[in-house]
Amino acid sequence: MMLRHAGCTVEEICAITGHQRADVNGILDRHYLKNDGTLARAAREELRNALRKDIPTLAERTISL
């Protein structure tokens, strides 16, 4: 689905296509998400970025005495 590959959320796809959320999720599950390396890489990057935000740097962890 070109919209998903373009980065659209399920809600955005529903708004554009007029499908219900359950229908869009079903279509994505059946036909597009099983072997989609693009989405897997994007998810990995999102997780990596989230972890970087939450992990304090060494300078932030250092306590002044």
Q: In the chain, where are the structural domains located?
A: 2-55
- The string of pLDDT tens digits covering residues 6-27 is 889 999 999 999 999 999 999 8
Task: List Cβ neighbours of 27 (8 Å cut-off, separation of 6 or more).
Answer: 1, 19
User: What's the mean pLDDT when you consider all of the chain?
Assistant: 80
Lowest mean pLDDT among 8-12, 24-28, 29-33, 42-46: 29-33
Q: Residue for token digits 């296509």?
A: 17
Mean pLDDT for the stretch of residues 34-49: 79
Q: Are 20 and 14 in contact (CB under 8 A)?
A: yes
**What 3-state DSSP class applies to 33?**
coil
